[in-house]
Structure 1
Amino acid sequence: MPVPASGRDRAYAYLKDTYLADPECQGRFINEQEIADRIGVSRTPIREALFQLSAEDLVQLIPKRGAYVAPLTGREIRELMELRGMVERHAAGSVLAAGAAPLDAMRAALAEQHALCSGDRGREFIDWDQRFHFALVEAAGNDMLSKLYSGLRARQVRAGVVALFSTPDRHRAVLREHEEIVRALADGDTGAAHRAITGHLDSTLRVLLDS
């Protein structure tokens, strides 16, 4: 039988993957009791999780005030997109060299995004956006690279949701950019895949810096 997750692990997973990924949490202090009540643990594992998140620079622990979620700065956004570009372009080259482009998984994620393009379902759209990109990175077969990329999730989701609602019709632009990436991978064209990835991330960066 699987070992049940500890209270600290549950708190850490919830805070990192759900709470901190919400753009609405930016610029706020975290209410420890509220989070504890939501996931059914005491405040002690919440504090332990916040210490870990502070070590990862995802929250700031301010004496006598608590854990603060600072908005992403322009520099952080630029560095995030730069790091994503390095990882994703490397992954594209690796999967094409190995003849292992994850086209089925990426097309499935893209289909889900098409279905979510209308209506107020931006967070779900961005969740599938993450699956689209992670499918490419994971297919490269480098576990350390996949773990590094997974560690960017909270920042990526928060930035993605902000970008989605900052510009009219951003959903459609994302779909077109994703289709270009898939097309280049399907054609086995590494240069085109690199350009498509760079173009997509540059487009997102411009939207975020203008928001």
Structure 2
Amino acid sequence: MTSGRQLAYDHLKEVVLGDPSMQGRFVNEQALADEIGVSRTPIREALLLLAAEELVQLVPKRGAYVPPVGGKEIRELFEVRGMIECYAARRALELAAVPLERMRAELEGQRALRAADDPHEFIDRDHAFHAALVHAVGNEMLDRSYDGLRARQIRAGVVALFRAADRREAVLAEHEAIIEALASGDAEASAKAITAHLEETQRVLLKG
């Protein structure tokens, strides 16, 4: 059975932190407890975990503050993603382990969500698309490092969709370009396609 703390942690990480309207606001602990169906103690325990991950800031006598996604965080996130994902593309090609079917399935799932009101599932698919390539390398330490970026990646992705009305269509085209490059077996073209995709998302986020 999932503990109250885990329920609160997952909800905060996946739903609350992924809501652009929560940026620059304090978490309402009681409202969140009522929504999830737990006491405030698990909420506070979950917030301590998120504070340790630097996803929220605990302010004395005020509570948990969700800081806006800042330029420094965006640049660092995409720098790390670029290093991991470009390496994963090259290594997966070397191993003949590129998960083209899985990536195509995630892309088709995204296409089905292009007009959905809630952007979170679209961005969940976005993460799964990229994670499939990283996981194909078979390096568990690399997997853990990449999965540790998930909350920030989803948060940034949702914000990007809100900031650019045509971003969903652009993401679909950029993902298609990544698949085409990987299918061709060209490591440099694959790295360039991944880099172009990440740089465009970063540009949208930094543009504000």
TM-score after normalising by structure 1: 0.95
Corresponding residue for residue 55 of structure 2: 58
User: How much is the aligned-residue C-alpha RMSD, in angstroms?
Assistant: 1.1
Are residues 1:74 and 2:78 paired? no
Partner secondary structure for residue 111 of structure 1: helix
Note the C-alpha offset of 1:51: 0.8
- Which residue type is aligned with residue 52 of structure 2? A
- Which residue type is aligned with residue 94 of structure 1? R
Listed one character per residue, the Cα deviations across residues 156-176 of structure 1 (whole Å, up to 9, x for unaligned) are 111111111212311111111
Distance in 1, Cα, partners of 2:116 & 2:29: 32
- Which residue type is aligned with residue 95 of structure 2? A
Out of 166, 170, 174, the position equivalent to 2:171 is 174
Distance in 2, Cα, partners of 1:188 & 1:66: 51
Listed one character per residue, the Cα deviations across residues 27-82 of structure 1 (whole Å, up to 9, x for unaligned) are 11001111111211111111111111101100000000000000011010000000
State the 4+ residue runs in structure 1 displaced beyond 3 angstroms: none
Corresponding residue for residue 13 of structure 1: 10
- Which residue type is aligned with residue 124 of structure 1? E
Note the C-alpha offset of 1:112: 1.1
Aligned length: 208
Corresponding residue for residue 143 of structure 1: 140
Unaligned runs of 5+ in 2: none
Distance in 2, Cα, partners of 1:174 & 1:25: 24
TM-score after normalising by structure 2: 0.96
Unaligned runs of 5+ in 1: none
Note the C-alpha offset of 1:119: 4.3
Are residues 1:116 and 2:107 paired? no
Distance in 2, Cα, partners of 1:41 & 1:179: 43
Distance in 2, Cα, partners of 1:13 & 1:145: 22
Q: Does the 8 A contact of 2:18 with 2:120 survive in 1?
A: no
Are residues 1:127 and 2:124 paired? yes
Identity over aligned residues, as a percent?
A: 61
